[in-house]
Amino acid sequence: MVVIYRSLRMRESADRALVLHAMDIDHALDRGVLGWRVSVPAHEESRAREQLYLYETENRVARPTPVDTAPRPDAAAGAIGWTFVLLIAFWLQSRHQFGIDWLAAGRLDVAAINGGEWWRAITALTLHADVAHLFVNIGFGAVFGSLLARQIGVGLAWLMILIGGMAGNLMNALVQKPWHTAIGASTAVFAALGLLGAYLWTGRRLIHDSWARRWTPVVGAIVLLAWLGTGDERTDIVAHLTGFLAGFAMGALLGRVVTPGPPDPMRQGILGGFALLCVILAWALAL
């Protein structure tokens, strides 16, 4: 007997065995170490393979096509705005402009947040420990934010990233010790990564003709989280995780309610302006 077909699924092997039965070809269907297999006598191998080829050709399912997403020419505008806001905040912070200790006023302080200073969950996103910390967050945030903006529009994308970063910081404050403090836009960066991965997954924006392709956005996002989200003792790994989880939850929801299509420029402008206004108002409260 010669094995002419193997599969981990019994149904696929049984279907092919049925084809051989219909063509009156001797065969055997059994379970081996590597799954189910269909065997035929050696002298029937050529005819059996021909019949299975014809069967597979006739029953081949058309490969699904991805949902086309038209390029968004304004996607880069959000990345430019992100860069501008973080650079201005770092300039103010590093030079103690206007005689203000921006770090003390805006950092994530668990005790202060528990005391009602919720705006620190936003202001902390604009503060950085050093130039290297700043430019890493600018770079990755611009990439993930631009990719998300190409999918759902620039204004909505950056508003969701801001909300995801804020939610991630608040979740972080819930699990950290009262004396814990933190700064950095990385919580929002990982929120953007979670948003993008979940939106591509639930919104079915990629080819979904196999379980591997269906889960590609999720697996890719988790790999990036593991790769980028860990570091030395100064890295707030919990904040990276909570930012990612907050973004992922929102991305899964967006994937089910946001339909592809050209975004309304006015609406996107309003949403983007509201995101910037939230940052300004948070700092107004902090000061």
pLDDT in tens, 210-229: 555 566 666 666 776 676 65
Whether 67 is in a domain gets the answer: no
Q: Are residues 80 and 38 in the same domain?
A: no
Range of 146's domain?
Answer: 75-286
The encoded tokens of residue 224 equal 């990036």
pLDDT tens figures, 143-199: 999 999 988 889 999 999 999 999 999 999 999 999 999 999 999 999 999 999 889
CATH number, domain containing residue 95: 1.20.1540.10
Supply the CATH number for residue 48's domain: 3.30.70.1530
* 272 in the same domain as 151: yes
Residue recorded with tokens 């420029």: 265
d(CA 2, CA 38): 8
Same domain, 159 and 43: no
Token output for 233? 């003792």
Q: Are residues 17 and 110 in the same domain?
A: no
Q: How many CB atoms lie within 10 A of CB 182?
A: 23
CA–CA separation, 119 vs 282, rounded Å?
A: 5
**Same-domain status, 196 and 103:** yes
Going by their DSSP bridges, the two strands 35-40 and 28-32 should be labelled as: antiparallel
Among the residue ranges 27-31, 50-54, 135-139, 205-209, the one predicted with the least confidence is: 205-209
Whether residue 277 sits in one domain with residue 184: yes
pTM for the predicted model, two decimal places? 0.73
Q: Are residues 260 and 202 in the same domain?
A: yes
90 Cβ contact list (under 8 Å, min separation 6) = 127, 128, 131, 134
145 and 201 together in one domain: yes
Q: Could you give the number of structural domains in the chain?
A: 2
